[in-house]
Amino acid sequence: MAVRAIRGAVQLDADEAGHMAERVGELLTAVLERNEIVADDLISIWFTATPDLHSDFPAAAARGIGIVDVPLICAQELDVEGAMPRVVRILVHVETYLSRAEISHVYLGATAALRKDIAQ
């Protein structure tokens, strides 16, 4: 078994706590399902949000979908001019038998443009 990192992102329509919980929950669920990961496989999750998001902590969405005993941390993305607005990114560390090539990184909606090389 190896430790792997899985990337992902989602863009919000608005900076609203309920909407953030819904969209980030959708992103996390997609990452887990596409990589056949269960909560016991999770090591930690890093969340970043663009500076225009401040209605809630993205990590709260993980707790909302039942990820309750995994270390989570939130940080703010760099404020780069011209960057895509209202984006939450994740970096999920897992134990898995999947090779790096088999990992499915998840970029929902418009965020697929952020990483065309790995978005699936």
User: Which residues contribute to the annotated binding site for prephenate?
Assistant: 7, 89, 107
DSSP code per residue over 8-73: EEEE-SS--HHHHHHHHHHHHHHHHHHTT--GGGEEEEEEEE-TT--SS-THHHHHHTT--SS-EE
Three-state secondary-structure class, residue 113 = helix
Q: What one-character DSSP code corresponds to residue 83?
A: P
Residue whose pair of structure tokens reads 């809630």 in the numeric block: 56
Nearest to 73 by CA among 84, 62, 87, 85: 62
For the annotated binding site, the residues are: 7, 89, 107
